[in-house]
Structures are given as C-alpha cells and as structure tokens.
Structure 1
Amino acid sequence: MVAALASAVQLHAREAMTVAKWTEDIAIYQAQLEANHIDLFHTISREEFERQLVRLRADLPNRSDAEILAELMRLTRLVGDGHTSMPLWNTPQPRFPLEFRWIDGEAVVVGASKEHADMLGAVVHRWNGRPMEEVYHQLATYVPFVENKGSEAVRVAQYLSYAALSQAVGLSENAETLLIEISYKGKMRAIEVKAIEPTAFRAAITERLTYRKDLSDNPTVIAIEGIRLALLRNASVAYIQFDRYPSFEEMSEFADKAARALDEAGTQNLVIDFRENFGGDFFIGLAFVANLVVLDKLDWKDGVYVLTSGRTFSAAMSNSAQFADILIARIIGEPTGANPCGYQDMGQFTLPNSGHLVTYSKRRFCFSDPVNDAVAPDVTVRTSRQNYVDGIDPVLTWVIEDIRRREVGASE
C-alpha cells in the first residue's frame, strides 16, 4: 500500500521530472498565460509576476515536485480571477477518503468511505495538531477557482482531501496518513485516516450527507445527466435541480419536454436550483429558459425563484444574474461563489513535461453590480450543518412556504 501511494505522489507517471524539465514547463506556463489571457495583469503587476517566477526557477533544485506544483498553484491564484487556476484534474494524488464542506466557519465531514461512515456530520477541530482556522488560511492561498469568500470556503473544503498537496504546503508530514480531531454530539475523538490511491477515491466515498430533496420516487421527474425536473405540490411548483450543463442538443430535448410538462400541468411556480452547479456554458442556460418564457400559466410576477450558494460559479452565477432580469426571478439562498462582473470563458493548456493543467480567462463579462464580489440573494437563507445531518433543505422549504403564503393571500 505504501509503495502504491509513493508511486501516486509522483505527480506525473510518464517520466521523472528534472530541473531542466520544470524550467521548460515554467517558461511555457508564462508564455501561454501572457499570450492567451485577456488581461493577465489586471491584479498582479507584470513585474511582480516575473519576480515570483524568477524566485521559483532559482529554487527548483531545493523543491520536490509536489512543492513546485503548489508554488505554481499559489502564483496562479495571484492572477486574481477564478478561471485562471491550476486545478488537480490531471494530477493523480493520494486522497484521504473523506469529503468536507466549510459551513458557518467549520469544516464538516459530509462524505466518507464505509470505514469512516461514523464521522459523517462531525466537525473537524484539528488537522495533524493544527487548528482548522490556521489550516484554512494556509490552504486558501493555493486552491483554484476562487473569486470571493464563498468560493474560497468551497475550494478549501474540497482540497483538504489531497494528501500530497497537504504535505507540500506544510499541513502534513507525509502523504500517507492524517490525524484529525473531530467532535460529534458533544464527544471529541482523534482518528487516523490513511490515504488511498487517487483512482479509488470516487468509488470509495459511499456514505454522504445531503440537504437536497430526493426526487427518485417522484413520478413526474424529467431528467438528463446533471439536470432533474420534478413537479411538486400537486404540480403547482416545477423544481429543477440544475447541477451541470449538458450539450445544446441535450438541453433542447430536455427543455421541450419540460415546457410541455409545465404547460399540461398548468404549473404556476418555477424554482431553478443552481446551488451545486460549478458552471459550464451560460448560453445553454439561456437556451433553456427561451423555451419557458412562452408559458403564460407561470406566475411571471412573483412565482420564479433561483437558488444559489457559494458553489454557484461561472455560468451558473451568470445565469442566476441573467434570470433575475429575464425571468424577474428572486434569488434565494446564499451569495454566489463567482463575481458577476469579472473574468470568465475558460481556456486551458497542459504543461508538456509534468502534465499539469493550467486554465485562463478569455473574456470579461459584467452581468450585474456585485455585492462583495458576488450575486447577493434577495432573501438570505443559510444551510447549516444540522440541515445536512437531518437531510432538510431550508432554502427550498422557505420557497415552498413563500408560495403557500402567496396562495393564502390571493384567496382572502
């Protein structure tokens, strides 16, 4: 097991990296970003960017591959927009078989392997002896796809499970084991967690907590990969879990079916849930609502809602802002993780020797005036740790209650 993990820590399996190969990769990293980013130096100056690269090149002989990658992640963050990043998509790293979310300033275990299922819902207090507030601030300078405090908390929680990154930034002594101290139901305990091979991570996480409504038994569900529509409250509410963007062709077929279902049912209220959507192509979202705006039975004055959270990023944030205008939708939930006036439309390239992926922004859009670098909800409803534990969705509950209040008011 240790040998397998040691192999996985090597950040690219093709061949060992050398100073010369890293030097070539860094030169390509700089050249590609300068050639392709729409405005690379909108936040960091050219002089500071080059100074950081010179320092990294000089220090290459003294750093491990994982440390060099971490330093490039940190430097890319300094560019200052969420679509210019170095995610670990192409980088196999051992993972701790846990998933986290940062909720109300605390790291909460929301996913686990069967071995660690008893940790679900627990709050993490220490990470290898370090308080989690310190861990958060240390990791926050490296994680990708950050545009505000909301997306920062989302990405820190996501990247806690990357064992080699944790070691590279000084949060762990090794990439094989983790000692965490957790509390649940008033009891504190320390647990050692062993990292697993990266290819095994997805299948290993079998136990999860979620606040989301289970639509599997709803007979009215219309679904494609990433999007599910269900009619609730005797078909008076169309609830759409919009988690990922499909192709234009798939969306066209889904939108046709959805429009027919809503029209036949006489549905008056529309709820579009972007809380788990990290983005895609916002034109596909616009194509979807183009099929809905012709439905005269919908309550276009008060009956359209968009649900958002810190995970609402990129195109999902764009569509949230656009739907507030086009559909006169009210935004309910928490601020988006992306800035409605900023850099988007992601391009990417791969460093030839290490194989690491680099993304960059190709366009700048401005959809609405940002509030703290986010689309602010019209009504703030927060999802708590206890909501995850109990499987209760406070945001959708608020919307359903608002619809009920309007119906009662209309009947009086």
Structure 2
Amino acid sequence: MKKVWVRFIMILLLIACSGSSLPLNPSQDWNKSSWRDDLDLLVSTIKEQHRFPFQNISEQSFLEKAAQIRDTLSDMNESQRMAALMMLTASIGDAHTALYPMETESFQLYFLWLKEGIYLLRVPEDKKELLGSKLVAIDGKPIDEVITKLRTVIPHENEQWVKSKVPEFLRNSSLMYGLSIIEHPSTAVFTLESGDGHILNLDVRSSVPIQNETNAYAVYKSKSNHYPLNYINNHRDYWYELRDEDRVLYIQYNHCRNSPDQTMQDFNQSVQQTLNNGRVDKIIIDLRNNSGGNSSVMAPLMDTLLTYGFTKPGSLFVLIGKSTFSSGMLNAIDLSKRVNAILIGEPTGGKPNSYGEIEVFELPYSGLHGQYSTKYFRNSEGDPSSLMPNVLIEPSIQEWIEGRDFSLEYVIQAPL
C-alpha cells in the first residue's frame, strides 16, 4: 500500500507541477473501464479536433500526462478523477479549451478578487455580518496555496483569467476536495479577516443554491447603499441609463448575444432615440462582465457610434477587466481601433492573440462537459498577454466600502 501511495503522489506532482497531492480514497463504485474511456475520448478530442493543441506543450508530454492519469485512476475517488482530467485539459495552455467541473452542491459564499485580496461580497442572509471580510485560508491552507492548486485546473493564458475564475471555483466543494484543498467533500473551514483585523473561522457545509426565495442572499453595500455599477443588473445581457447630470450615456454589455427580451437591433434603436435628444457628451460601454459569445452581435451599436460621431477622442470610453474575455475582449479591441475608444480599468482575462471559435463535447460516463478551440485569432502586434487599458484602475475594496465606482468617476471627470 505504501508503494501505491508514493507512486500516486509522484504522478500527480508531475501532472500538476504544483506541489499538490490528492488523498488516496477511491470511491466504492469505481468503474475503471468507463473512466478510462472518458480519458481516452478527452485525449482524442484534443488531439484530433483542436486546431493546434500542442503549441504550449509537446504532444509527447501531453500523452505522458494522460498515461500517468490512466495508471492511477483506480486509486482515485470521483473528485480526484474530475480534477485530474481538468488538469490534463488545462495543461495545453489554451484558455478556450476547458473541462467544466461538476457542481451539484456548493459553498454558498460568493467571493471577488480585488486589488487588496479575495473578499466575501455575497452570502445567505443569515451570514450577512461576514460581508466585506477578506479570505485568509481554507481548512488551514493559506490562500496563496489554495490559489496555486486551483490554477492547475484553470485553462488560462494570463493571470487575470485566473483571478476571474478562482472565486467561482472556491464555491465548488467537490473540486476543492479533489485538489486536497479541503479534507471533506462537503464541509470546510473558511478563515476570514474582518475590516478591523479580527480573524473568524467559519464552518461551512455545501448545499444547493437557494432558489426563488426573496431576499435569500445579502450583498455587501456601503452606508450609502451603493456599489460599483457593473454589479447592478449584471444578469441582463445589456441595458443602459442616461446620467443627465453628467451628460453621460452608460451602456452595460454583459453577454455577446441577442437578449430574448430585446434584440440588439431594438436595443440599438432605443439608444439612438436617447442620442437624438442631444443631451449626451460621452458614452461609456461597460465590458467588465463580458466573457464572450458572438462578437458580431454588437455591430448595430458599433454603426451607431460611428454614425453619431462618437469617434472624437474623449467621447467614448470602454471599461474592461479580468472577466473581459473572448468576444467581449474582441469588441473592446474593435471599439478601440474603429471608434477611438479609451480603455479604462484593468488588463483583460482574454489574450488578444489566441484560440477560439469553440465546439463543445461531453464525456459520457462522468457526464463532464467541455469545449475546444477550432480557430486562431490574431488581433495585436507582438504577443501581449492581455488587452491593456489606456488608464489602469484596479477594482478595490474601497469602492465597496465607500459606495463608489472609480472607473465611472474617472470618465465623468475626464475633459472632453
């Protein structure tokens, strides 16, 4: 048994290259043939369907990792198998080629990675006194160690996308168990630091998200009851408001798709009617939440910006951030090039020159879903890791404490 344990640890060290190890706790319903079939399908899909899978890792190294997983599948539990296949997928270094984790239950704690650290900003109502706390550790593991382990299963081409995805994966109890971040598949101790420096150890059990309950969750708000604008109505595909006092039209564009409630064509006509009133000096397009879809959906709005003359420097601003990815990032590039937009915020999670145009697949035994890239896009000279803002403004916990949006304030104060 000792030899099997040592061999298992060494293999996963090679796979993850992260110093992590997974506990030896195989499930009782192990079916190695079916899991091996899933592994084989994953390998063949990436090898045969991806446009260029071996740009960041050699084919030999990729196949060796797959073989190492195959040899130890029978020693793993379900969570470890999922994590191992996610590590393998992430190893090719293409942020658009991914295997999604299962999530039947999760920790109902919603974090956000800000300039000062990872903060708890949305919780069930009965835990609202914890809002605004900084995450320090999970099950005694320092947050830096937790991030290092999660990074191995997040396909990424820059650290900004890691920062975007880590808060989401912190909720996934099965994945964190598979990575040995937590010691039990459904419970964990989250160590939090309050604003005044007090440390609290919070025992949490995973559960299904609360559905259809009014005021089931509490969101951190300042004394003024405000918070950054990109967290208002961010479930909607797009919406806008005219800020009359500032003569600013704010447009939030969260998903590159036509909304079932209002097509982009109809939305654009509404924007035109507002512009026809002649009370708009500046336009803000907020792409901080936009992680992609179909980049051509924005075409009507792009035409309006050109037709109405918002090409003058200082009249159009685009807000970008770590969750601006794929087609959302492509729209930011187009707005910068075609309409002279000034980019405000932080570097994008998307890489300008990268793969995309995804196809999806399913691993039939495990039920895991994934996607792979079929096309390479070159949108920038050189090979920058992110689309960089013209003006760097990193999201800060101070915005939440003070009820402000620093990027919005910059645009309002910027001279025409």
Q: TM-score surpassing 0.5?
A: yes
Out of 402, 409, 412, which is 1:390 matched to? Answer: 402
Query: What is the rounded CA distance, in whole Å, between the counterparts of 1:105 and 1:70 in structure 2?
Result: 29
Q: Secondary structure at the match of 1:39?
A: coil
Tell me whether 1:206 sits opposite 2:217 in the alignment.
Answer: yes
Tell me whether 1:36 sits opposite 2:49 in the alignment.
Answer: yes
Query: What is the rounded CA distance, in whole Å, between the counterparts of 1:99 and 1:60 in structure 2?
Result: 32
Q: Is the 8 A contact 2:243 2:249 kept in 1?
A: yes
Aligned runs of 1:168-187 on 2, under 5 Å? Answer: 168-186=178-196, 187=198
Tell me whether 1:377 sits opposite 2:393 in the alignment.
Answer: no
Q: CA deviation at 1:225?
A: 3.5
Aligned runs of 1:40-189 on 2, under 5 Å? Answer: 40-88=53-101, 91-104=102-115, 106-144=117-155, 146-186=156-196, 187-189=198-200
| TM, length-normalised to structure 1 | 0.86
Query: What is the rounded CA distance, in whole Å, between the counterparts of 1:240 and 1:39 in structure 2?
Result: 37
Query: What is the rounded CA distance, in whole Å, between the counterparts of 1:275 and 1:60 in structure 2?
Result: 39
Tell me whether 1:244 sits opposite 2:255 in the alignment.
Answer: yes
Identity of aligned residues (%): 23
Partner residue in 1 for 2:224: none
Query: What is the rounded CA distance, in whole Å, between the counterparts of 1:273 and 1:376 in structure 2?
Result: 15
Q: Is the 8 A contact 2:85 2:99 kept in 1?
A: yes
Query: What is the rounded CA distance, in whole Å, between the counterparts of 1:57 and 1:214 in structure 2?
Result: 44
Partner residue in 2 for 1:329: 341
Tell me whether 1:320 sits opposite 2:332 in the alignment.
Answer: yes
CA deviations 1:96-144 (Å, max 9, x no partner) are 1101112225221011111221111100112111111111111111124
In the alignment, residue 100 of structure 1 is paired with which amino acid? F
Change in CA separation of 1:215 and 1:44 when aligned onto 2, cut-off 3 Å? closer
Query: What is the rounded CA distance, in whole Å, between the counterparts of 1:313 and 1:398 in structure 2?
Result: 23
Q: CA deviation at 1:367?
A: 1.6
Task: Please give the root-mean-square deviation of Cα atoms over the aligned residues, in Å.
Answer: 2.5
Q: Secondary structure at the match of 2:40?
A: helix
Query: What is the rounded CA distance, in whole Å, between the counterparts of 1:202 and 1:279 in structure 2?
Result: 27
Change in CA separation of 1:275 and 1:335 when aligned onto 2, cut-off 3 Å? same
For structure 1, which runs of at least 5 residues remain unmatched after alignment?
A: 1-15, 407-412
Q: Which moved more, 1:340-349 or 1:248-257?
A: 248-257
Query: What is the rounded CA distance, in whole Å, between the counterparts of 2:376 and 2:383 in structure 1?
Result: 17
Change in CA separation of 1:334 and 1:287 when aligned onto 2, cut-off 3 Å? same
Change in CA separation of 1:360 and 1:17 when aligned onto 2, cut-off 3 Å? farther
Q: Is the 8 A contact 2:345 2:393 kept in 1?
A: yes
Out of 361, 366, 382, which is 2:378 matched to? Answer: 366
Out of 295, 299, 304, which is 1:291 matched to? Answer: 304
Q: Secondary structure at the match of 2:74?
A: helix
Query: What is the rounded CA distance, in whole Å, between the counterparts of 2:257 and 2:283 in structure 1?
Result: 20
Change in CA separation of 1:260 and 1:337 when aligned onto 2, cut-off 3 Å? same
Q: Is the 8 A contact 1:101 1:157 kept in 2?
A: yes
Tell me whether 1:353 sits opposite 2:365 in the alignment.
Answer: yes
Q: CA deviation at 1:389?
A: 3.0
Query: What is the rounded CA distance, in whole Å, between the counterparts of 2:216 and 2:92 in structure 1?
Result: 33
Q: Is the 8 A contact 1:127 1:180 kept in 2?
A: yes
Change in CA separation of 1:112 and 1:372 when aligned onto 2, cut-off 3 Å? farther
Q: Secondary structure at the match of 1:293?
A: helix
CA deviations 1:234-271 (Å, max 9, x no partner) are 47211111112232881111112212221233422111
Q: CA deviation at 1:288?
A: 2.6
Where in structure 1 do 4 or more consecutive aligned residues deviate above 3 Å? 199-205, 369-372
Q: How many residues align?
A: 380
Partner residue in 2 for 1:13: none
Q: Secondary structure at the match of 1:256?
A: helix
Q: Secondary structure at the match of 2:343?
A: strand
Change in CA separation of 1:72 and 1:392 when aligned onto 2, cut-off 3 Å? same
Query: What is the rounded CA distance, in whole Å, between the counterparts of 2:302 and 2:230 in structure 1?
Result: 24
Q: Secondary structure at the match of 1:291?
A: helix
Query: What is the rounded CA distance, in whole Å, between the counterparts of 2:176 and 2:164 in structure 1?
Result: 16
| TM, length-normalised to structure 2 | 0.85
Q: Is the 8 A contact 2:230 2:252 kept in 1?
A: no
Q: Secondary structure at the match of 1:35?
A: helix
In the alignment, residue 63 of structure 1 is paired with which amino acid? M
Query: What is the rounded CA distance, in whole Å, between the counterparts of 2:231 and 2:184 in structure 1?
Result: 42
Q: Secondary structure at the match of 1:292?
A: helix
Q: Is the 8 A contact 1:111 1:205 kept in 2?
A: no
Query: What is the rounded CA distance, in whole Å, between the counterparts of 2:161 and 2:345 in structure 1?
Result: 15
Change in CA separation of 1:224 and 1:235 when aligned onto 2, cut-off 3 Å? farther
In the alignment, residue 320 of structure 2 is paired with which amino acid? T
For structure 2, which runs of at least 5 residues remain unmatched after alignment?
A: 1-28, 222-226
Q: Secondary structure at the match of 2:388?
A: coil
